[in-house]
Amino acid sequence: MNALSLKGLTNGRILLLVFILPLIETSCQKNATDSEFKFPADFPSIQYKNLENQLTPQKIHLGRVLFYDPNLSSTRTISCGSCHAQVHGFADHNLPKSFGVHNRIGMRNSPALQNLAWNTHFMWDGGITHLDVMPIAPITDVNEMDLPLGEAIERIRENKQYLNLFKKAYGDTIINEKTVLFALSQFMLTLVSDQSKYDDVRRGKTNFNQIESKGYQVFKNHCVKCHSEPLLTNNQMEYNGLTVKSKDLGRFRITQTLKDTFHFKVPSLRNVALTYPYMHDGSFSNLDQVLKAYQTKFQLENHDLEALRAFLNSLTDHKFISNLNHAEIHPFNP
């Protein structure tokens, strides 16, 4: 994301007040159907806070249609799903940096989208603090979708086929920042990954093999401080010691505090085998490169690396990447 779009977004709460609160009264609507979607009971309680935006199947579905709608970009060619692909755990198609409209290249690597309900900070520098305002950044960013938010809303309004989806979701056809952003949050909240082999082991359904077990030990010794269980991130901005020079100062951009230089949000390692290349700038092309870099830092043996790799592979959630509820759909031919 460029500096401009970030600047206005560093405090999600302010945006919420500006964009969303004034609209809340206009469309308070209780939904008749309760969601069948449930967060995993053995995860910590969710961090997403918006009591008004209770999950319903209709709102989730609307959010999914919006997520895959390329009309939200100026050229009508790029959707959220263009850079966040299900087969890669909703990271990009193995590009260090993503292409936005007119093949413009952004500043950072597209992160996986998973377990966002537990996130307290978004973006590599943690500069956004509420999921509901998150889509404003990519929609308006000149290197991404490059469309003013108002125009995006206008395009949704003009498309008569959306009316029915909004009616089903909200009980009326009010299409505004709030109803659009809330629906996008709903879909994103359902992107839950909790079905990897690691989770099956956690739940006592199966066991690690020998090398995975060893890798898990090494992981617990060196990595869980930041990649904390079970989400495999502590949700903080940290310095992992691997960035020595970079134009991207990370968390410093937000706090202007020297000690935050090169601090980046700890990425969850769920589905990490699928989300290469790695780090905020996509500068590590495969896991071996990452592990080699950490080897020096933590003085690991070669067999530790091999074990770590086996453990990291156990974090791939095949059910998540093939879940049909998350798959790309043609907006009006679902």
Contact residues: ligand HEC, CB under 6 A: 1, 67, 72, 78, 80, 82-84, 98, 100, 106, 108, 110-111, 113, 116, 119, 122-124, 134-135, 138-139, 144-145, 184, 188, 222-223, 225-227, 238, 240, 243, 264-267, 269, 272, 275, 278-280, 290, 294, 298, 308
Cβ of residue 94: shortest distance to ligand HEC, in angstroms?
A: 12
199 touches 320 (CB < 8 A): no
Which residues is 99 bridged to in the sheet? 105
Shorter beta-carbon distance to ligand HEC: residue 97 or 171: 97
Please give the angle made by the CA atoms of 210, 215 and 220, to the nearest 5 degrees.
130
Three-state secondary structure string covering 270-320: CCHHHCCCECCCCCECCHHHHHHHHHHHHCCCHHHHHHHHHHHHCCCCHHH
* Dihedral of the alpha carbons of 196, 273, 254, 240, in degrees to the nearest 10: 100
Shorter beta-carbon distance to ligand HEC: residue 10 or 171: 10
User: Whole-angstrom Cα distance, residue 310 to residue 314?
Assistant: 7
* Count of CA atoms in the C-beta half-sphere (13 A) of 270: 29
Shorter beta-carbon distance to ligand HEC: residue 149 or 171: 149
Shorter beta-carbon distance to ligand HEC: residue 62 or 80: 80
Cβ of residue 266: shortest distance to ligand HEC, in angstroms?
A: 5
Shorter beta-carbon distance to ligand HEC: residue 171 or 248: 248
Encoded tokens for 11: 């405090």
Cβ of residue 317: shortest distance to ligand HEC, in angstroms?
A: 14
Cβ of residue 25: shortest distance to ligand HEC, in angstroms?
A: 25
Cβ of residue 124: shortest distance to ligand HEC, in angstroms?
A: 4
User: For residue 238, what is the enclosing H or E element?
Assistant: strand 237-238
Shorter beta-carbon distance to ligand HEC: residue 226 or 249: 226
**Own/partner long-range contacts of 290-293 (Cβ < 8 Å, ≥24 apart):** 290/242, 293/242
DSSP states along 204-245: TSS---HHHHHHHHHHHHHTTTTS-TTTT--SSEE--S---S
Shorter beta-carbon distance to ligand HEC: residue 27 or 227: 227
175 touches 160 (CB < 8 A): no
Shorter beta-carbon distance to ligand HEC: residue 84 or 170: 84
**Neighbour-count burial of 207, counting CB atoms closer than 10 A to its CB (0-12 exposed, 13-18 middle, 19+ buried):** exposed
Cβ of residue 205: shortest distance to ligand HEC, in angstroms?
A: 24
The DSSP 8-state label assigned to residue 279 in this structure reads: S
**Neighbour-count burial of 254, counting CB atoms closer than 10 A to its CB (0-12 exposed, 13-18 middle, 19+ buried):** buried
Shorter beta-carbon distance to ligand HEC: residue 92 or 199: 92
Cβ of residue 30: shortest distance to ligand HEC, in angstroms?
A: 26
Cβ of residue 44: shortest distance to ligand HEC, in angstroms?
A: 16
User: Whole-angstrom Cα distance, residue 63 to residue 37?
Assistant: 14
Helix (H, G, I), strand (E, B) or coil at 7: helix
Cβ of residue 313: shortest distance to ligand HEC, in angstroms?
A: 11
